[in-house]
Chains A and B, each alone.
Chain A
Amino acid sequence: MHSHVRPSTHIALRLPSGILKLVETTPNTNINLGKFGTFNSNQIIGRPYRLTYEFLEQEDPKAQPKLRVVPAAELHAEALGSDHAAPAEAKDDDAPAEGGVAYDIVGEDGEVIMRNNRLTVDDPSRQTLSMDEIEELKKAGSGSGKDIIEKIMASHLGIEEKTRFSLAKYTLRKSRKYLKRFTVLPLDIPILTEYVTEKEAYRIMELRDDSLGLICSWANIHSGATSRVMTAEDGASQIGGGRWLVVDDTGGLVTAALAERMGILYPPTEEVSSESEDGNEEGLPAEPNGDTPANTTPAAPTAPPTTTTDDTHMPDATTDTIAGAPNGPSTSQPRNPRKPRQQHIPQSSATTNTLTVLHSNNQPNLSHLKYFGFDSGDPTPSHPLYTHLKALSWLQLLSPTDDPTYFEPEVIPEDTLNTLKSSKRGNYYRKRRRWERTKRVVDETRMGGFDGLVVASSMEPVTILKECVPLVKGGGQVVVYSPNVEPLVQLCDYYSKERRTAYIASQFGQQNGKRKQNGVDEEEDEVEADDEDNFPVNPTLLLAPSLQTARARQWQVLPGRTHAHMTSKGGAEGYLFTATRVLPIEGKVEARGLRGGKKRKTGTDTSTPA
């Protein structure tokens, strides 16, 4: 995966200015990079990722533009500065060694011989080319943009006075502006995160790479391909199976990041035909895995459905639009009933290695998944997420009987069905399937036993955790992301050691109280209402709640010029609440340790009180 550019996938292009542009590689289409130029998608399809291309100079501006792959040495030479304009390998090597720089600064007799900025004149008139002239140059130039840069540099009066470093900086700045280059990048989570952050960070709750990495680690996200779903001690609830519960208000970015770590984000690569042609056998790294054949079968699935559900073979409507979206004809599936029918793969039917998304609207907002070939409104059955992604609304979770899709639609006998019009029949099947899917997902979710809970939501976290923490298995991880610290501070407080002690005391008090005074209902109600305020969540269910934040700071590494970047993006710091779900023992538990001797201080010990 992500070795070569494939047709009809989303890719990212990095322009010299550093800006990212997302495009889809539809064959035979022109990709327009604005002032940088236009090229045909076929010029990059089939080529490896991470190459940098440059538009070649051409006599005829109307001709098909030609691209050239810029070698690494040339790219580095520009970054390093003027000394390395000629990309000779040997020269490139000794450049970074400090020797060169030291020579520049101090001569043999200790005399300072480095040029400095004493003579620099800050005046726009030093550039003799006028803006109009530069515009002219830009219009005339059809090539890589190097000629423009050369002319601009040549017309700069003070270029000789510039220090080496400032000249390098100047050249770099001009290259960013005028070079006609782009780098082809695979559209993966870090690139997508960067892209959305630049444009509309609020849509992904200002998540950064570093926060996403932390979320995935702390939530213990990994492929559950071989995990087993097991029955808990009580014999009813299930446990494990590589299933994670997600509350995602980032338009699906968190879901995508988790799916990537589980190996179910990218569609199976359909390279078999293309690669075998030129004998370039591809090693298929990280093929989506899982134990249902459904997700691994390519476009024409022959494997029978795997689930144990009562899924009847439904002859029509291969794509199952989520929750009654208007029935648009699926583009990828043959609709002709005459053709040998495709087996229907029930959506969201995988039992292990799954993500269950809780959403607050009628439909989940997973729009960012479209970049990975998954449209949550009209999913392709060949995509791993088709079976491994489950979605249900809060209403369906908390009160399924209030949701109409949870009720079984009327069963029409086969005979009557055959007399119906095909459109009606299709509708009938669609409804049945929707019900089956909803019921399956809702029942399964309510049984709990999830491996972990990941929350990135604008909703009050405590209300989410109240409902979701009980669904996590013992020893499972709970991770809550928030762009701001305040909601998580509040959350920590609800799980604080002091509150936990008080909660246990109140539980005991209530038990004793009930025994003593039966009949005084009013007072009890009051107590309960009070408890709801004091203990919105059961604080004994989470162990070691902690709060953390991380930020990666970028540095510039150039010979003699290594330092942290001068500016970077501010905004939300991004905080993470992590805790482990535990199973408290019934009854009173005495703590031990830190007794006597030492002064007891609040907040030093998270586990002393029960």
Chain B
Amino acid sequence: MAPAVSPFLDPGTSSSANSLGILQLKRDHLIPTVLSDASSTEYAEGNVVNTRFGSFTHNSLIDKPWGTQILASVVDTGSRGGRSKKRKREANGEGPAAEDAAGSEEPVRGIVKAATTASSGFAHLVPPTPETWTLCLPHRTQVVYTPDYSFIIQKTRLRPGDHIIEAGAGSGSFTHAVARTVFNGYSGLEAPEEDKDGQEANGTTSRKRKRRQQRHGHVYSFEYHKPRAEQLREELVSHGLDPLVTVTNRDVYADGFCVDTEDENAPNADVIFLDLPAPWLALKHLTRSPPPPAVVKSIASDPSTPTAEPTTSTSTPQAPKPFRSPLNPKTTTRLCTFSPCIEQVQKTVAAMRSYGWLDIEMFTMEHKRLEVRRERVGLAEEGLRGANPSPATVQEAVQRLRDVEDRAKVFHGLQKEKQEQVMRRAEAKKRGEKAPAAESEADGQKKKTEGLPPSKHDRLERAKKESESRALFKEGRLVCRTEPEIKTHTSYLVFAVLPVQWTAEDEEKARRKWE
């Protein structure tokens, strides 16, 4: 079922059925969908993703080159066949996300109607990456966002071929990011594409002799919460990442990090990432040799440890189990803990010092996104959208004031004239004369207002007309500023390293060899 190569690692040229694709509607509005060409009970057109920019049938998304702009289809969303009330609620309540659970739909009719293209609406089909996945994954816990995980990967020197322990898998954003980083081929099937040209085949035979078995990168992921662990496991299978990640449902405070797989040294970790409420309780399992019991006790018995701490960790008798280190004995172990509160950091750092971790550093990540726009200011913007219609310069302001004054003067003049005229007429009536012709007066009024600055109504009209011929996209001042909402605190990142164990005998050996 799972694709041979994960679309996260090598998406190929185009989307394909039963593989994850991401529909990008807006920058932060992405919809992950496992594409399926099977027919659906809901729509005659097969599976459909409904968005507010239109409906997209899976068939219009399959076998499209990645990055293609996809036009929305006409889908009758009103009269679905065989829908139950429950389905309707689902679809209405969760919108397009409900459609993602396409797996549950049983192909009933078998024939998928070809959809016609709608007159409007489109989206882009992009291949999944840990970054796009982070933006649209189903949230289960707090997500480790791109700026944080990028920095963690950089600081811990995570590289292809490394083994990493991740405890507190949470929503899986970090899992995806590090799976990409450690990836250097699937174990079991060495370089599956090797046979693509014949010349390489003869290269491999000679190479295999020469080279010791290449170490494949792997992620050992631990999650305390069972449903979350299950969900992550399913996700990884559908993303084709399951060969790279081992998900274990476990309480790591109590049971540590060693897993039983074919590889007896597993996890054999080079890098550790702890996103746990009490990382200091997990550190006792991350040593190269059995830690002194006094140290373990002093850390565990810290009175301020949250009560959520499983009491089983101390009470279960675990004496018979021989000590096994989950760390790779041949490399410097790099550790990162991710805690939102400073108290957690202080305890963690204290524990790290006791267990001999070095180069302890703590960081916070300050990340912001900027929006770029053109700010148009000026009287010419009057009545236009997205601009500030106040004067752009002092000169403009003065001119406007003059104009207003000029108009006022003329109108006052006219007013006066009118009044005088009325008076005159009244006088004439009194005297029994006939009123002078009103028409000529109206003409005079027109003449007077002709040279005047335009009225507000005229100005608006003119601005609107002119805006059509203006290149608004390059007018105004180009500005950038922080986006309306920023994440000011994600978590405290503590980094530390644990050097390779180095005994006096080792030193003696090295001295004999090199000196």
Contact = CB atoms under 8 A, between A and B. Distances in A.
Interface in B436-483: 471-474, 478-480
B63 to A, nearest CB: 10
Contacts of B227: none
Interface centre among B270, B342, B357, B474 (most CB of A within 10 A): B474
Interface stretch (A117-125, A215-223, A325-333): A215-223
B273 interface: no
A593 interface: yes
A209 B154 contact: yes
Interface stretch (B34-42, B408-416, B507-515): B507-515
Contacts of A69: 502, 507
B168 to A, nearest CB: 20
A580 B217 CA distance: 27
B356 interface: yes
A214 B150 contact: yes
Contacts of A473: 13, 66-67
B93 to A, nearest CB: 20
B353 interface: yes
A33 interface: no
B24 A607 contact: yes
Interface centre among A557, A562, A599 (most CB of B within 10 A): A557
Contacts of B513: 46, 274, 277-278
B371 interface: yes
Contacts of B367: 548-551
Interface string A223-243: 111111011110000011010
A590 B203 CA distance: 53
A261 B473 CA distance: 39
B330 interface: yes
Given A493-B478, A547-B370, A227 B193 contact: yes
Interface centre among A51, A303, A473, A559 (most CB of B within 10 A): A303
A144 B320 CA distance: 45
A154 interface: no
B86 interface: no
B386 A602 contact: yes
Contacts of B434: none
A102 B60 CA distance: 67
Interface in A373-405: none
B246 interface: no
B191 A489 contact: no
B494 interface: yes
B206 A285 contact: no
B116 to A, nearest CB: 15
Contacts of A116: none
Nearest to A268: B211
B369 A547 contact: yes
A138 interface: no
Contacts of B357: 72
B366 interface: yes
Contacts of A98: 304, 346
A564 B122 CA distance: 47
**Chain B interface, DSSP helix/strand/loop, else mixed:** mixed
A593 B270 contact: no
B112 interface: no
A554 interface: yes
B414 to A, nearest CB: 38
Interface stretch (A37-45, A105-113, A167-175): A37-45
Nearest to B355: A72
A72 B353 CA distance: 8
Interface string A581-610: 111110001111100000111110111101
A543 B366 contact: no
A284 B212 contact: yes
A546 B369 contact: yes
Contact of B13 (A232, A277, A555): A232
B69 A585 contact: yes
A607 B124 contact: yes
A76 B150 contact: no
Nearest to B494: A557
Contacts of B347: 96
B87 interface: no
B223 interface: no
A287 B159 CA distance: 10
24 contacts: A2-B157, A47-B510, A217-B149, A228-B12, A239-B13, A261-B181, A263-B184, A274-B513, A284-B212, A286-B217, A292-B200, A296-B210, A473-B67, A489-B370, A493-B372, A543-B67, A547-B480, A550-B147, A550-B365, A552-B363, A583-B65, A584-B69, A585-B71, A607-B26
Closest 5 A/B residue pairs (Cβ): A474-B67, A96-B350, A475-B66, A286-B161, A213-B154
Given A217-B130, A278-B509, 8 more contacts: A92-B353, A217-B150, A226-B9, A286-B160, A293-B203, A473-B13, A547-B370, A591-B120
Interface of B: 5, 9-14, 24-27, 52-54, 65-69, 71-72, 118-127, 129-131, 146-147, 149-155, 157, 159-163, 177, 180-181, 183-186, 191-194, 196-197, 199-200, 202-204, 206-207, 210-212, 214-215, 217, 268, 270, 292, 294-295, 298-299, 302, 304, 328, 330-332, 342, 345-347, 349-350, 353-354, 356-374, 385-386, 471-474, 478-480, 492-494, 497, 499-500, 502, 507, 509-510, 513-515
Interface of A: 1-4, 27, 40, 42-43, 45-52, 69, 71-73, 75-76, 80, 89-90, 92-98, 186, 188-190, 209-210, 212-214, 216-218, 220, 222-228, 230-233, 239-240, 242, 260-263, 274, 277-278, 282-287, 289, 291-293, 296-298, 302-304, 306-308, 473-477, 485, 489-490, 492-493, 496, 498-499, 501-502, 534, 543-544, 546-557, 559, 562, 564, 575, 580-585, 589-593, 599-603, 605-608, 610
